[in-house]
Structure 1
């Protein structure tokens, strides 16, 4: 891999060199020189043009050689990459995965356009596919994007009105969106050096959140003392870049949550997860092909894929004894020692008897199946 990185750096350096020594600038300089010479001595037209022609031909030849060399290096580099990392992505694809599910896929695509704010494209796609997309859902996302657009221009009033309107639902979900919006508005006033307005705003709006956000409100009020030099004060973290973007994401998440949808588009998540799992799937497919074997389990991946935290939505427990994932019929069970295994593994250890004492597979303590308790993640 290091060899590829070194070759890439060499090609990039060569390209930057060509861009710095712009050939057009060199040709323009030659033409201007010839022009000045003719202007100073009108009798030297033929000589100047002849010399210009030779120099232009020389520069053009040099340019062609430079670009030919760059193109050759780039071609060799891409061929080496293709040879080193060649793979058949079709080997990891199931061509029958969407049999009898065409309408579901079409609806997912149409909703993705709407969730991204591409309402015209989404409507056109839904019409051509013969889908019935609820107008209410479309209008809800239009409202969401209008509010987000206002937030991007530092206008928090529409978001604050929405958060206040849905305060009971947000509090039930443990969301701090409304306070974060008031906090952001308070900091906006401080940055504008409107300390009196900031204090009045805090007195009007922070009281309701005093019980849950006492410490943060205290820091916000103390930051007023450093107005004008907040960036060099102990409260500089209040102006951390990216805070506005985080609040916009929080608003989008809570908005989607209240209408019963995930924050991210299912299509986006599917593509993201598929991209993460693809290398392992391709490798597994190549191994299976070499051994002339096939994966026989339907609706189950051949290998485990490690997903990022933002693509995990529920807890997963894999039994340390059987190495199988827990299910409703085979739930995780905690023994008296605190170790957790699946119910089927527990039944094997106790040999089907609820009162037979057995040793934990991970510690010396003994227990009985009747003492084990279901664990809920």
Structure 2
């Protein structure tokens, strides 16, 4: 497998074009309504756009991103961009454990920057250096600097195949996996398709398409499971329009969002507010610079359309398990209170070997950005016995 070092270097003319487009925005008229009731708030969006065009320093963000060791790999004909950060402490008595972490939408590999500090150098945060990881954070195909697949059919299951090949190319025959959002689906697919390579998976989200294997030998649905399914359906009816559009007509939406930076910021920014534990105040959790670094990655790489394509592919290959199918790979789950769904443990245990379950005290969908220390502690705890067993 060919692996080449990579550094982000956006052309000056692309930065100038972005700023010009923002300043030339044709703002949409709207009937007066309470802020955020019908989507992205106009006043907030104008403020963000003004900052993006006049104050946001992409070059500073680029230097920050390039502090991560990044690479491009040819994995079975698919170019995969990834960051590979090794443990800070190595040597006798300190065997770092390999871990692949997968992002989702509307995130990117950037959302793990604080989490990587915690995982790769736990001693710097008062932790045990024996808990250190070598962490690989790939960009999903079609996201950021991983180009879109040459043809259709790349769902979470095919991404899992790519990740196994990537990790083996890096010298990791066995490893752990972690993810939320789309990355949770990839992590589940890794456990389902590659149990001999994956020691365990840690999740902070359950894909909405997941349906467990329910057999005659199992208990009927509990009241908590009925409540969960009803709440999930209610959420989809009110908040799930974005996913239905992504999964059914992604190209129509991409034509707009790839041409309008303010439209892209509205589409992504609204989700960061709605899905995080910010109490309605985005900047209580995410700085403008962090939010715009992530949005700018989507803009400069023109990946919004290919990113939405993953929803199309996952709709065709959902996370559904039939018969008495079970996944024996150990699973850990961290349930953050402002996550967009809240499955009961029993719902996962119908298919998965859940060995660790934690109800977290704060945080939402973007746990790695919102609560990196809490998430890192959960990941360390989950993989601690598995790394011992793998030695």
TM value normalised by structure 1? 0.19
With CA pairs under 8 Å and 6+ residues apart, which has the higher RCO, 1 or 2?
2
Say which structure is richer in helix. Answer: 1
More strand by share: 2
TM-score with structure 2 setting the length: 0.18
